[in-house]
């Protein structure tokens, strides 16, 4: 064991000497490994950051949450021309499910209505996202109120002109003054502010800080029930511990019944589960990782050739020294490990430089992307270091073998 530690120490010294004595040659040789490791870890870090941001954006909703609408979150076997003809879910279907669905904690009806401007006296905020929902949505997404309250069932059913403001909207319209009880204009109509949401920050799917929430029946009066641009949806949250597969089967049966579908008719709606959406995101990120690794692999291939080249040159320069070592009793295995360790150390140095570059780039990128944070995990750093070591091992095998097989007499003579 001690001899291997000694070999490792000598190999490290040789690697450092190679860096010092042949700076340009070593730099060019390690450049491929550095770029390759940088590319791989940058891709892994970017995908991990994107995945974390997506998961954070949908974390407010439980994975068991189900959304019924005429669109599918993921791929479907139903032809596009056919599902484009599906009818929208209706408020009446929402009421039917609310009365008849068993094992359900909450159900809400929502419309995706166009963004608009909101005005208070002389202050106006444009491109405000609108959440047109029923009162149950408060429990499904567990919205947090900083001031005031959320609209109740009576206000939801009657379509009372009340509004809940996002944190940023409230600040832009009212500054430091209390917005509760004030009237704002949305879609040219007056709404009374009854609540302000807590600040949550920006996510990949947007933020509630720049959104407002209205009773859905108020927006139904504005846009009507036959407007194909509003994309109605029914959002259901099963009770905790309920078998989701059984719950979805009952849900489909109820929807088919209320729509009068025959046994041989296909479903004219999609039941989207957030867990399925999360799985779909996982599949996408895995594919992105694979593509990134393949592309980055070409850089590593070039880097591997660079390491092999510098090791062959190192063997040639130290041929005489190898002959002297072998004539003094050094075994082939000792020479083999000496050069193999040197190759690995050189590759790891290149990999560490790549990791440092990724770390610097991630810090800089995070400064320009607002709340989106690039994550360089310890796992990815370990992967980068391990890949570097493997590249060094593979690249150093042939030079190390050629060095270990040298005849001591010929080696000394050639070196002279």
Do residue 128 and residue 256 come from a single domain? yes
Structural domain boundaries enclosing 297: 2-57+279-415
Among 96, 99, 106, residue whose Cα is nearest residue 142: 106
Among 236, 233, 262, residue whose Cα is nearest residue 251: 236
User: 372 with 53: CB under 8 angstroms?
Assistant: yes
Higher per-residue confidence, 150 vs 304? 150
Structural domain includes residue 154: yes
Structural domain includes residue 138: yes
User: 157 with 218: CB under 8 angstroms?
Assistant: no
User: How confident is the model at residue 281, as a pLDDT?
Assistant: 66
Give 315-375 as a DSSP string: HHHTHHHHHHHHHTT--HHHHHHHHHHHHHHHHHHHHHHHHHHHHHHHHHHHHHSTT----
pLDDT in tens, 129-146: 999 999 999 888 878 899
Do residue 183 and residue 262 come from a single domain? yes
State CA 334 to chain mean position distance. Answer: 47
User: 350 with 388: CB under 8 angstroms?
Assistant: yes
What is the residue-averaged pLDDT of the chain? 81
Question: Does the pLDDT value for residue 254 go beyond 90?
Answer: yes
Residue tagged 């596009």 (tokens): 80
Q: Which residues pair with 116 in a beta bridge?
A: 128
Do residue 330 and residue 203 come from a single domain? no
CA angle at residue 216 from 211 to 219, to 5 degrees?
Answer: 85
Q: Which of these three, 268, 292, 323, is where a domain ends? A: 268
- Listed ranges 55-64, 75-84, 96-105; the one with the highest mean pLDDT: 96-105
Do residue 284 and residue 254 come from a single domain? no
Do residue 115 and residue 213 come from a single domain? yes
Do residue 258 and residue 283 come from a single domain? no
- According to DSSP, residue 177 is labeled S
Q: Which of these three, 208, 233, 268, is where a domain ends? A: 268
Give the pLDDT band (50/70/90) at residue 398. confident
Do residue 303 and residue 161 come from a single domain? no
Q: Which of these three, 235, 268, 301, is where a domain ends? A: 268
Cα 321 from Cα 110, distance rounded (Å)? 79
Do residue 127 and residue 234 come from a single domain? yes
Pairing of strands 183-186, 116-120: antiparallel
CA angle at residue 388 from 386 to 391, to 5 degrees?
Answer: 110
Give me the mean pLDDT over the 277-299 stretch: 69
Share above pLDDT 70 across residues of the chain, in percent, rounded to a whole number: 81
The SS3 assignment for 241 reads: coil
Cα 71 from Cα 174, distance rounded (Å)? 38
Give 68-127 as a DSSP string: EESS-SS--SS-HHHHTTPPPP-HHHHHHHHHH-SSEEEEEEEE-PPPEEEEETTEEEEE
Give the pLDDT band (50/70/90) at residue 152. very high
Structural domain includes residue 219: yes
User: How confident is the model at residue 136, as a pLDDT?
Assistant: 93
Structural domain includes residue 81: no
For residue 62, give every residue at least 6 positions away whose Cβ sits within 8 Å of its Cβ, in sequence order, or none. Answer: 237, 274
Among 328, 340, 347, 332, residue whose Cα is nearest residue 386: 347
Among 109, 136, 101, residue whose Cα is nearest residue 251: 101
Residues in the chain: 416
Do residue 297 and residue 204 come from a single domain? no
Question: Does the pLDDT value for residue 165 go beyond 60?
Answer: yes
Element (H, E) at 270: strand 270-273
395 phi and psi angles, rounded to 5 deg: -70, -25
User: 112 with 233: CB under 8 angstroms?
Assistant: yes
Token pair for 57: 């954006």
The count of domains in the chain is 2
pLDDT in tens, 12-65: 666 666 666 667 767 777 777 788 778 777 777 777 777 666 665 555 555 678
Angstrom distances, CA of residue 42 to CA of 39, 135, 370, 391 = 5, 43, 19, 18
Do residue 254 and residue 125 come from a single domain? yes
Give me the mean pLDDT over the 282-303 stretch: 72
Question: Does the pLDDT value for residue 251 go beyond 90?
Answer: yes
Residue tagged 């929402």 (tokens): 94
Structural domain includes residue 237: yes
Structural domain includes residue 41: yes
Do residue 112 and residue 231 come from a single domain? yes
Cα 31 from Cα 105, distance rounded (Å)? 58
Structural domain includes residue 192: yes
Structural domain includes residue 78: no
Range list of H helices, 119-186: 137-140, 153-158, 167-174
Higher per-residue confidence, 366 vs 148? 148
126 phi and psi angles, rounded to 5 deg: -100, 165
Do residue 264 and residue 284 come from a single domain? no
């Amino acid at each position: 064991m001690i001899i291997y530690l000694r070999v490792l120490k000598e190999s490290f010294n040789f690697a450092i000497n190679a860096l010092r004595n042949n700076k340009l040659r070593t730099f060019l040789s390690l450049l491929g490994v550095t770029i390759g490791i940088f590319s791989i870890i940058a891709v892994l870090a970017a995908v991990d950051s994107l995945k974390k941001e997506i998961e954070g954006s949908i974390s407010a909703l439980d994975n068991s949450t189900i959304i019924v609408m005429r669109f599918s979150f993921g791929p479907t076997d139903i032809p596009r021309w056919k599902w484009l003809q599906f009818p929208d879910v209706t408020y009446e279907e929402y009421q039917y499910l609310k009365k008849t669905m068993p094992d359900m904690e909450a159900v809400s009806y929502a419309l995706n209505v166009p963004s608009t401007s909101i005005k208070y006296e002389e202050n106006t905020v444009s491109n405000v996202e609108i959440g047109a929902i029923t009162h149950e949505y408060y429990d499904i997404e567990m919205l947090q109120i900083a001031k005031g309250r959320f609209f109740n069932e009576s206000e939801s059913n009657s379509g009372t002109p009340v509004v809940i403001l996002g944190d940023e909207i409230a600040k832009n319209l009212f500054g430091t003054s209390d917005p509760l009880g004030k009237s704002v204009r949305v879609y040219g109509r007056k709404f009374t502010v009854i609540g302000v949401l807590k600040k949550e920050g920006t996510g990949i799917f947007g933020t509630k800080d720049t959104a407002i929430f209205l009773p859905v029946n108020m927006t139904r009066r504005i846009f009507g029930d036959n407007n194909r641009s509003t994309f109605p949806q029914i959002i259901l949250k099963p009770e905790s511990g309920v078998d989701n597969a059984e719950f979805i089967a009952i849900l489909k049966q109820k929807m088919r019944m209320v729509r009068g579908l025959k046994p041989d008719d296909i479903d004219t709606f999609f039941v989207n589960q957030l867990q399925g959406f999360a799985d779909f995101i996982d599949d996408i990120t895995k594919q992105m990782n694979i593509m990134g690794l393949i592309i980055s692999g070409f850089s590593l291939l070039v880097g591997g050739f660079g390491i092999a080249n510098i090791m062959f040159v190192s063997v040639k320069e130290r041929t005489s020294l190898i002959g002297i070592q072998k004539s003094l009793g050094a075994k082939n295995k000792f020479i083999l490990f000496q050069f193999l360790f040197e190759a690995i150390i050189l590759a790891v140095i290149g990999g560490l430089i790549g990791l440092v570059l990724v770390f610097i780039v991630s810090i800089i990128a995070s400064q320009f992307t607002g709340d989106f944070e690039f994550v360089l995990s310890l796992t990815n750093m370990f992967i980068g270091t391990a890949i570097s070591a493997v590249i060094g091992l593979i690249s150093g095998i042939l030079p190390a073998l050629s060095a270990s097989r040298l005849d001591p007499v010929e080696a000394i003579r050639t070196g002279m």
